[in-house]
Structure 1
Amino acid sequence: MPVTGWMSLHDRLRERIGGDALDLPTLANEVYAAVARHVPHDFACLATTDPASGVVTWASKTRDLGIGDEEFAAAEYGSTSDINRFEEIARRRPPVGAIHLDTDGHPEISYRHREFMQRRFGFTDELRAAFVSRGACWGALGLARADGDPPYTQADLDQVATICDLVAVAIQRSLFRPGTTTDPVPAPAGPSVLIVDATNRLTHATPAARAAIADLGGFDHGSLPANVLAVIATTRLRQEPFQSRTQLENGRWLSLRAAPLEGTTGGSPDIVVTLEPTPRSVLSRLALAAHGLTSREEDVAVLVLQGVDTKGIAQSLHLSSHTVQDHLKMIFTKLGVSSRREMTARLTLD
């Protein structure tokens, strides 16, 4: 095990990322470097998640595992009964867990571990953490150990738990860092629609959908991007329409909407997915949450963006005008602006 010195994992990572709004690949590499000094592992994956739907929107890996993400998506989102799913981890306090500890030394109980992590890659244990802020999950981390490595301990979990809040805030800053844009993706030439069969093989796609797939990172070892597969797997499980949002490399956002097709022969239905620009109205609320606004501050900010004056905000939210002004001061501080006009210029509702 490496010697970590006097500095804690939290302090080490805080020193590395500071208060800067890093792009996601840089942030992931900083997290990997800091965590490796304190919690050794054979493989790591850091992902961002849509705080509304909870599914993966972007992922980074410390190395290429040589396959696409169909099996991961099916294992993670195709069942609600497996152990240590990220959705369940995010509800814990603190939001961390390790498969060996959580199964009392019998990780084979977990389908995901038995049939995917261990069978495919030889991993023997996995530590998971969710990056939660104000009840919403913005990302997650998975650390895997291989043959010859000891299982994770409670001390390992305690170490990683100290950085969950820090990384959640860093992801929020990254998604809305200066230079990115909340402008919708330009409308494609024609509808962006794709259809996959029961094996998640792409069977039909419009030209605009193929262009969108490229914008989402393209095919990975023949597989659709992980964010698309996550929406498909969730739709199969629920057997009803499901949607999520994801950010492109240029900072623009897409909404992914999936639904099972009627009349499909066989067991699992074909799934149709549409990819559309995410409305500014949705992104503005997301941006407010990402800047750390409380629910009440969000309510005030949305009304400001809609052009409502202080008196109207006070009446609408049953507050005094003085309280509204106090909320506005805090909102301006968190957004880094000094006036309603600057705020509206940064976050404009449709």
Structure 2
Amino acid sequence: MGADSLQHAADKITRLCAEPRDLVSLWQQSTEVLASAVPHFWAPCFYTLDPVSLLMTSHFQAGLEEFPQEWLASEYYEVDVNKIADVARSPTGISTLYDATDGNPSSSPRWHRNMSMGGDQELVARLRTRSGEVWGAVGLYRAPDEPRFTEPEKSFIQTIAPALAEGARCALLLGQAREPEFADSPGLLILDDHWELESATPGVDRWLSELPDGDPDTGRLPSSVLTLAGRVLHLAENPARTTDIPVSRVLSRTGRWMVLHGACLTSTGDRRIAIIVEPANPSRLYPLLMSAYGLTEREKDITKLVLQGASTSEIAAELVVSAHTVQQHLKSIFDKTGVHSRRDLVGKVFFAHYEPRFRDNERRALHDQPLRGEPWRS
């Protein structure tokens, strides 16, 4: 495919991600675009990741309703290359199995699993927003004897990755707002093109009351909501700027930061504005680790980095402590969680708190329910 065609495909992906839709629909429609832009075997495998831990929370691949259990076990317990968390943390955010094995993919257990399904070449790319949060990954495959992925094809995937990440994040937030499970779930406002409130999800008044100069009792919307609505409409009238993502960060009355996401809805023919309101950087991993294992604040910080795949030296540098201190904390973490190694720690946290969400999302996808992005909380 030529450069103009690839740019057209990238623009189409960006437009798909700019309008809120459920996650499965986003992956399905993105699959159609990818099929023409980057030829591949079967269908792309999309994943959502928890940006805090980089552990998988869902997958979607047309024709594969249930991800094989042994593949999950190998992802978190087996020594191999091209693993999703490793690619997510890499400098480029993209890797092929051919490159990761120095041209000898048959040396990887991952390659043998792929071949059992008919796939040979494997490309894995992270989906990271421009603000730096990794919300997912995508895997593409090619049949035996097909050519390797080219540099222009890799560049195309890297170009569309931020849009796909923003689209995934927005789809997850939209699903949580429409079907809230917890008290801290995001809220959704729908405004008409005159910026009048048309509808809202239950509980959104609590978030609005935290925003400066808003008054839910009188119906007056906060200025931060109205300002973002104006940006959404302006971008909708200037399609050449569809790569812009309308997001704002606001300090609430209680002193915590709130994040507002905006998008234009046109599916009904009448232009409407969707505003999603949520607390900034809600880390559901931390209370989970505290309640399940009684980790200290420092132990939670170290565990988060271990889950992401950081080495001892990387953890020490990020937390500004010595490598010896990291090792001492790791010993305490292992004792509290009942494991003996980093790999066992990652596997235990995934299969105890993320694999149930992963399987729940498979059921949700089959029943047209919104997918969830947070770890499982019993």
CA distance in 1, matches of 2:346, 2:36: 43
- The residue type equivalent to 1:56 in the other structure is M
Aligned to 1:94, the other structure's residue is in SS state: coil
- The residue type equivalent to 2:93 in the other structure is P
Per the alignment, residue 188 of structure 1 pairs with none
CA distance in 2, matches of 1:140, 1:6: 20
Shift, 1:112, TM fit = 1.3
**RMSD over aligned Cα, in angstroms?**
3.1
Per the alignment, residue 144 of structure 2 pairs with 147
Highest RCO, 1 vs 2 (Cα 8 Å, sep ≥ 6): 2
Aligned to 2:124, the other structure's residue is in SS state: strand
In 1, are the aligned partners of 2:22 and 2:370 still within 8 Å (CA)? no
Shift, 1:3, TM fit = 10
- The residue type equivalent to 2:149 in the other structure is Y
In 2, are the aligned partners of 1:130 and 1:140 still within 8 Å (CA)? yes
- The residue type equivalent to 2:71 in the other structure is F
- 1:82 corresponds to 2:80: yes
Aligned to 1:54, the other structure's residue is in SS state: coil
Equivalent runs, 1:9-88 vs 2, <5 Å: 9-15=9-15, 17-43=16-42, 44-64=44-64, 68-79=67-78, 81-88=79-86
Per the alignment, residue 105 of structure 1 pairs with 103
Q: Could you tell me the percent identity over the aligned residues?
A: 24
Per the alignment, residue 171 of structure 1 pairs with 168
- The residue type equivalent to 2:122 in the other structure is E
CA distance in 2, matches of 1:170, 1:254: 16
Aligned to 1:176, the other structure's residue is in SS state: helix
Aligned to 1:123, the other structure's residue is in SS state: coil
In 1, are the aligned partners of 2:49 and 2:373 still within 8 Å (CA)? no
In 1, are the aligned partners of 2:48 and 2:373 still within 8 Å (CA)? no
**1:41–1:3 distance in 2 versus 1, CA, 3 Å:** farther
In 2, are the aligned partners of 1:98 and 1:157 still within 8 Å (CA)? no
Aligned to 2:147, the other structure's residue is in SS state: coil
CA distance in 1, matches of 2:150, 2:6: 20
CA distance in 1, matches of 2:370, 2:25: 15
CA distance in 2, matches of 1:170, 1:152: 25
**1:7–1:76 distance in 2 versus 1, CA, 3 Å:** same
CA distance in 1, matches of 2:102, 2:12: 31
CA deviations on 1:79-110 (whole Å, 9 max, x unpaired) are 3x411111111112331111113323211122
In 2, are the aligned partners of 1:235 and 1:241 still within 8 Å (CA)? no
CA distance in 2, matches of 1:74, 1:68: 11
Per the alignment, residue 345 of structure 2 pairs with 238
Give aligned pairs, total. 205
CA distance in 2, matches of 1:86, 1:252: 19
Shift, 1:20, TM fit = 1.1
CA distance in 1, matches of 2:17, 2:150: 28
CA distance in 1, matches of 2:151, 2:27: 24
Shift, 1:130, TM fit = 0.9
CA distance in 1, matches of 2:8, 2:34: 10
- Out of 118, 121, 125, which is 2:121 matched to? 125
CA distance in 1, matches of 2:54, 2:345: 14
Aligned to 1:141, the other structure's residue is in SS state: strand
Please list every run of 5 or more consecutive structure 1 residues that lacks an aligned counterpart in the other structure. 186-233, 257-274, 277-350
CA distance in 1, matches of 2:346, 2:103: 34
**1:50–1:106 distance in 2 versus 1, CA, 3 Å:** same
Shift, 1:252, TM fit = 6.6
CA deviations on 1:223-256 (whole Å, 9 max, x unpaired) are xxxxxxxxxxx99732885264546635677743
In 2, are the aligned partners of 1:53 and 1:244 still within 8 Å (CA)? no
- The residue type equivalent to 1:143 in the other structure is L
Q: What's the TM-score once normalised by structure 2's chain length?
A: 0.48
- The residue type equivalent to 1:138 in the other structure is W
- The residue type equivalent to 1:57 in the other structure is T
In 1, are the aligned partners of 2:172 and 2:373 still within 8 Å (CA)? no
Please list every run of 5 or more consecutive structure 2 residues that lacks an aligned counterpart in the other structure. 184-340
